[in-house]
């Protein structure tokens, strides 16, 4: 078992976390998130063209020449569905945040790309997401996160103590805020799958935290008479190898997903990549030290 003094350096770790949270908050309030069509409403058009050498830049230039609104469109060149299609055509997904109808956007795209042979038959799909639907999605997403956090607090309070629940919730909030900060920093699209990533991250981080808390609870009974700092530090040392091994294997899988999944799943994989690292860090260096501070305050109140 390793024997590192994590608890003695807890102020350094907490300071690092506070700095990251402040930076994330500044980014979210100044730069904001690159909201996808799921949250803003708009139109997504899938189209196939016979020229395999077309790039995203070529498509954007042609669309922008037709209507300047397309300069802000999200354009993704998709991989061929089969090896037979490779080298024969190009598939693109064009997403535009707008209140105009899908038929109108489709007509403009066909007109702009007519020089590349675009016709109505070239359009593979047209998806409309209204502003109301986007508000409904964002509302349900926010509700899902709040309900999950409330249930977590209740569960840990019953399973352990209220102070453990507070520590777990603060650690989870720490993970989500910093992950959102990375989304803002890199301009990664924030869409509905990202909410799934945040909820998955919430569960993953909580799993690591509960492992630490369970060992702390066991050692509090086994190491009676020892200081809470000693109990927590020994507990972290006993589980750190397990936590790091689990996180490393998960990180490798998510990294492969991020590299090879394409644009559709990349926002989800990005959140998980950041979340696995931040979640492991918070479980070891944030959640446990918070319990130490709470425990000491409780002991002081009892003495009074």
**Of the candidate ranges 104-113, 260-269, 270-279, the one whose mean pLDDT is the lowest:** 260-269
Q: Which range scores top for mean pLDDT: 93-97, 100-104, 110-114, 271-275?
A: 271-275
d(CA 144, CA 38): 16
Query: Is it the case that residue 243 has pLDDT exceeding 90?
Result: no
CB atoms under 10 Å from CB of 245, counted, come to 10
What pLDDT score was predicted for residue 24?
A: 94
Degrees to nearest 5, angle at CA 135 with 201 and 188 = 45
Pure H helices in 160-191: 162-186
Give SS3 for 176: helix
Pure H helices in the chain: 10-30, 37-40, 56-66, 102-112, 131-159, 162-186, 192-222, 228-260, 266-282, 288-303
Percent of the chain exceeding pLDDT 90 equals: 14
CATH class of 42-129: alpha beta
What pLDDT score was predicted for residue 197?
A: 87
Stretch 91-108: mean pLDDT: 84
CATH architecture of 7-36+133-303: Up-down Bundle (1.20)
Whole-model pTM: value is: 0.79
Cβ pair 127, 43 in contact under 8 A: yes
CA 97 to chain centre: 22
Stretch 42-54: mean pLDDT: 85
Query: Is it the case that residue 75 has pLDDT exceeding 80?
Result: yes
Q: In terms of Cα–Cα distance, which of 209, 197, 173, 178 is closest to 285?
A: 209
What pLDDT score was predicted for residue 269?
A: 92
* pLDDT tens, residue by residue, 181-229: 999 999 888 887 888 888 888 888 888 888 888 888 888 888 777 787 8
What pLDDT score was predicted for residue 138?
A: 66
**Paired strand residues for 126:** 45
Q: How confident is the model at residue 14 (pLDDT cuts 50, 70, 90)?
A: confident
Stretch 124-137: mean pLDDT: 71
Q: Which residues contact 96 (CB under 8 A, 6 or more apart)?
A: 37, 42, 43, 44, 69, 70, 72, 73, 74, 105
Q: How confident is the model at residue 301 (pLDDT cuts 50, 70, 90)?
A: low
Query: Is it the case that residue 133 has pLDDT exceeding 60?
Result: no
Contacts from 231-234 at CB under 8 Å and sequence distance 24+?
232/7, 232/288, 232/289, 232/291, 232/292, 233/5, 233/6, 233/7, 233/8
- Please tell me what DSSP assigns to residue 261: S
* pLDDT tens, residue by residue, 146-183: 887 788 778 777 777 777 777 788 888 899 999 999 99
- Please tell me what DSSP assigns to residue 286: I
Residue owning tokens 């139109």: 43
What pLDDT score was predicted for residue 76?
A: 81
Query: Is it the case that residue 81 has pLDDT exceeding 80?
Result: no
| 30 or 166: which leads in pLDDT | 30
**Could you give the residue range(s) of every CATH 3.30.70.260 domain in the chain?**
42-129
CA 50 to chain centre: 36
- Kindly report the backbone phi and psi dihedral angles of residue 144, in degrees, each rounded to the nearest multiple of 5, phi listed first: -60, -45
Q: Among positive and negative, which fits the CA dihedral 117, 120, 122, 125?
A: positive
What pLDDT score was predicted for residue 168?
A: 81
Query: Is it the case that residue 303 has pLDDT exceeding 60?
Result: no
What pLDDT score was predicted for residue 8?
A: 75
Stretch 30-35: mean pLDDT: 87
Stretch 127-136: mean pLDDT: 67
Stretch 251-264: mean pLDDT: 85
Mean pLDDT, the chain, rounded, equals 82
**Could you give the residue range(s) of every CATH 1.20.1640.10 domain in the chain?**
7-36+133-303
């Amino acid at each position: 078992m390793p024997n590192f003094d994590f608890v003695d350096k807890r102020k350094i770790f907490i300071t690092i976390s506070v700095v990251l949270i402040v930076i994330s908050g500044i980014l979210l309030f100044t730069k904001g998130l690159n909201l996808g069509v799921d949250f803003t409403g708009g139109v997504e058009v899938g189209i196939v063209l016979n020229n395999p050498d077309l790039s995203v830049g070529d498509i954007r230039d042609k669309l922008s020449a037709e209507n300047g609104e397309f300069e802000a469109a999200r354009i993704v060149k998709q991989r061929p569905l089969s090896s037979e299609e490779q080298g024969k055509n190009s598939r693109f997904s064009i997403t535009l945040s707008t209140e105009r109808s899908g038929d109108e956007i489709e007509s403009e795209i066909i007109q702009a790309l007519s020089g590349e042979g675009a016709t109505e038959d070239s359009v593979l799909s047209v998806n409309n997401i209204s502003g109301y639907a986007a508000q409904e999605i964002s509302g349900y997403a926010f509700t899902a996160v709040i309900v999950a956090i409330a249930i977590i607090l209740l569960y840990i309070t019953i399973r352990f103590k209220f102070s453990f629940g507070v520590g777990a919730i603060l650690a989870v909030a720490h993970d989500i805020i910093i992950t959102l900060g990375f989304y803002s920093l890199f301009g990664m699209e924030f869409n509905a799958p990202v909410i799934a990533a945040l909820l998955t991250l919430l569960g993953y981080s909580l799993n690591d935290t509960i492992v630490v808390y369970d060992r702390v609870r066991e050692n509090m009974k086994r190491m009676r008479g020892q200081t809470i700092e000693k109990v927590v530090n020994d507990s972290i040392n006993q589980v750190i190898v397990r936590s790091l091994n689990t996180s490393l294997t998960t990180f490798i899988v998510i990294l492969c997903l991020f590299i090879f999944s394409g644009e559709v799943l990349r926002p989800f994989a990005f959140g998980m990549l950041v979340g696995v690292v931040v979640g492991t860090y918070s479980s070891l260096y944030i959640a446990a030290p918070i319990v130490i501070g709470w425990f000491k305050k409780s002991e002081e109140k009892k003495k009074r």
